Amino acid sequence: MDRLTTGELIPATALPARLLAHFSVPPSVCYQCRKCSAGCPLTFAMDLLPDTVIRLALLGQEETLLRCRTIWVCASCVTCTTRCPNGIDIAGVMDWLKEEALRRGVEGPQPEVATFHRYFLDSIRKGGGRLSETALMQRYTLFQLRRRPNLKELLRQLKLGWELFRRRRLRLFGPPALKGRQEIRAIFQKAGA
Amino acid sequence: MQVSYYPGCSLEGTAADYAASIAAVAPLVGVELVELEDWNCCGASAAHSINHELAVALPGRNLALARQRGLDVVVPCALCFNRLKAAEKEEAQGGREAARRVKIWDLLDFLTQETFLTQVSRRLAKPLTGLKAVAFYGCLSARPPQITDKQDWENPTAMDRLLEALGAEALDWSYKTDCCGAGLAVARPDIIDTLVGRLYERALAAGAECFVVSCQMCQANLDLTQSRISEKAGKRYYLPVLYFTELLGLALGHPEAAGWLARHLVDPRPLLTAKGLW
């Protein structure tokens, strides 16, 4: 994966101020040991290394950060956060940036991941509190087919669906209706999802 | 002994095999799992990635239900476990300490408590002699320790100790807690091919004949993808991915064990037959 260049850096303060306020350990305590990047298993798919994300965040480089691929291919394995000698929640910063990118309507280089997450949450909301894996996969497969029709991939998905079905691992009907579905609806409304 | 049980959404679907083995094995060691009434989805990776508020509120409702019930909660899914713990920590941080506390257990930790291990090793109907396995713990049951309250997040041993108690050989390897990328399995399958392909290679290098897991996302990600990854790598991997509960059931002679094992895509039965464990 090619790494992004950071261009001419003109530090800005808006992003760091909000970022620092969100975390109990402010990412500004980073002393650039790069242990986060050394242990990250996903660097091969990233355009910015995790330590660079932290550095750029502190320098307020929101344009680069909100459009980078790294935040979306981070698998949330939390190895970085776990090993940071200063206790920075690096994986949490990745999440914060993802949410920020969506809030601002930034079209990133990895829309599949954001779409999958959105459909996932939709499925919980529509199902009244529990996820329907089948409904989620159907909707996501249609989304992918519209973007990039790929017969081989579709056949693979259908075959997998069949293999799971005949092993009684595919639930055809939605999740049971919860008694607390009004409560769930209120949670989603409050969170704006 | 009664505990609350939070299965999570995938145990009602693609991980129905895991659910069946858990339900069968718990009573064998004297545990009664009482499913938490009206539980909801924890929001999983989707919520913590794109909606922080939801990522706390959804598991928060489950916590409230569990506290009402007043029993410790046992959770098989690593991600659900992690989200419930995260919600608990965030409540505490916000000064909203619950009046009534319940302990949130990861199923593997719960079932490998010393008392259960001793019980199990005394009652083996079919010791898993000769089975060479690597224990694969994955990410979120242990990481980050600030959330999970675990002591041994870099080198967990619970599953290894269980395998030894069952008579199997738990091989040492360095990839116990490496990420298999399950959260990206749908949106970026190519990334999975790299991450899981590496796990296959390292497991084989350690001399393993199978993986043993406690997380249904790890199971799916190592099992459902094996034919695709084999095809892409031009190899024929045969590495069954077993739940620790299935091996527990098998070793204790549970009559339904065959049924659970038949539900994986990489059929473990040829391996178990070859080992005389079938």
In this prediction, residue A6 carries a pLDDT of: 66
Give the pLDDT band (50/70/90) at residue A10.
confident
Q: Domain segments of chain B: what residues?
A: 2-109, 124-274
CA-wise closest residue to B138 among B153, B121, B119: B153
In this prediction, residue A2 carries a pLDDT of: 77
> Do B139 and A78 count as a contact with CB atoms less than 8 A apart?
yes
> Do B48 and A76 count as a contact with CB atoms less than 8 A apart?
yes
What does the pLDDT average to over B137-151?
Answer: 96
> Do B41 and A118 count as a contact with CB atoms less than 8 A apart?
no
> Do B57 and A191 count as a contact with CB atoms less than 8 A apart?
yes
- Asked if the model's pLDDT at residue B192 lies above 80, the reply is yes
> Do B61 and A175 count as a contact with CB atoms less than 8 A apart?
no
Q: Where are the beta strands (DSSP E) in B139-247?
A: 169-170, 210-213, 241-243
In this prediction, residue A51 carries a pLDDT of: 98
Q: CB of B83 within 8 A of CB of B42?
A: yes
> Do A134 and B13 count as a contact with CB atoms less than 8 A apart?
yes
> pLDDT tens, B93-123?
877 766 678 999 999 999 999 999 999 999 9
Fold of B2-109: Glutathione S-transferase Yfyf (Class Pi); Chain A, domain 2 (1.20.1050)
Q: CB of B124 within 8 A of CB of B252?
A: yes
Cα B42 to Cα B105: distance, rounded to the nearest angstrom: 15
In this prediction, residue B97 carries a pLDDT of: 65
Size of interface A-B (CB pairs under 8 A): 161
Tokens linked to B154:
């870099």
Q: How far is A187 from chain B (nearest CA, A)?
A: 7
Residue of B nearest to A130 (CA): B41
Give the pLDDT band (50/70/90) at residue A7.
low
Residue of B nearest to A137 (CA): B186
**Which chain A residues contact residue B17 at CB under 8 A?**
167, 169
Q: Which of A113, A130, A156 sits opposite B184 (nearest CB)?
A: A113
Q: Other C-beta atoms within 10 Å of B55: how many?
A: 26
> Do A168 and B263 count as a contact with CB atoms less than 8 A apart?
yes
Q: Which of B46, B47, B179 sits opposite A75 (nearest CB)?
A: B179
> Do A75 and B14 count as a contact with CB atoms less than 8 A apart?
no
Half-sphere exposure of A193 (CA within 13 A, CB side): 31
Q: Where are the alpha helices (DSSP H) in chain A?
A: 14-22, 35-39, 50-58, 62-66, 70-73, 79-83, 90-103, 111-127, 133-147, 151-166, 181-190
Q: Domain segments of chain A: what residues?
A: 14-103, 111-190
Q: What are phi and psi of A185, to 5 degrees?
A: -60, -40
- Asked if the model's pLDDT at residue B77 lies above 80, the reply is yes
Could you tell me the CA-to-CA distances from B158 to A33, A100, B32, B162, B249 in Å, in that order?
Answer: 32, 39, 21, 6, 17
Q: How far is B32 from chain A (nearest CA, A)?
A: 23
**Which chain B residues contact residue A173 at CB under 8 A?**
none
Q: How far is A41 from chain B (nearest CA, A)?
A: 7
Give the pLDDT band (50/70/90) at residue A173.
confident
What does the pLDDT average to over B224-237?
Answer: 97
Residue of A nearest to B8 (CA): A130
> Do B191 and A118 count as a contact with CB atoms less than 8 A apart?
no
- Residue corresponding to tokens 């355009």: A47
Q: Is the peptide bond before B144 cis (omega within 30 degrees of 0)?
A: yes
Strands B169-170 and B210-213: unpaired
> Do B183 and A169 count as a contact with CB atoms less than 8 A apart?
no
Alpha-carbon torsion A101, A124, A157, A149, what sign?
A: negative
Tokens linked to B169:
């050989």
Interface probe, candidates B41, B176, B228, chain A, greatest A C-beta count within 10 A: B41
Q: Which of B240 and A149 is assigned the larger pLDDT?
A: B240
Q: What is the ipTM of this complex?
A: 0.95
Cα A93 to Cα B246: distance, rounded to the nearest angstrom: 38
Q: Which of A45, A117, A156 sits opposite B46 (nearest CB)?
A: A117
What does the pLDDT average to over A123-146?
Answer: 94
3-state DSSP assignment of residue B215: coil
Tokens linked to A150:
């790929």
Give the pLDDT band (50/70/90) at residue B164.
very high
- Residue corresponding to tokens 């909000």: A18
CA-wise closest residue to A25 among A92, A83, A72: A92
- Residue corresponding to tokens 């390292």: B202
Percent of chain B with pLDDT over 90: 95
CA-wise closest residue to B197 among B224, B166, B222: B222
> Do A175 and B9 count as a contact with CB atoms less than 8 A apart?
yes
> pLDDT tens, B10-57?
999 999 999 999 999 999 999 999 999 999 999 999 999 999 999 999
B124-274 maps to CATH 3.40.1110.10:
no
* Nearby residues of B180 by Cβ (< 8 Å), 6 or more positions away: B136, B138, B192, B195, B196, B199, B217, B218, B221, B222
In this prediction, residue B95 carries a pLDDT of: 74
Give the pLDDT band (50/70/90) at residue A138.
very high
How far, in whole angstroms, is CA A79 from its chain's centroid? 16
Q: CB of B69 within 8 A of CB of B34?
A: yes
Mean pLDDT of all residues belonging to chain A: 94
Q: CB of B105 within 8 A of CB of B77?
A: no
> pLDDT tens, B59-76?
999 999 999 999 999 999
Q: How far is A105 from chain B (nearest CA, A)?
A: 12
Give the pLDDT band (50/70/90) at residue B271.
very high
Q: CB of B77 within 8 A of CB of B43?
A: no
CA-wise closest residue to A62 among A98, A22, A15: A15
- Residue corresponding to tokens 């939709």: A122
Cα A45 to Cα B91: distance, rounded to the nearest angstrom: 35
- Asked if the model's pLDDT at residue B139 lies above 90, the reply is yes
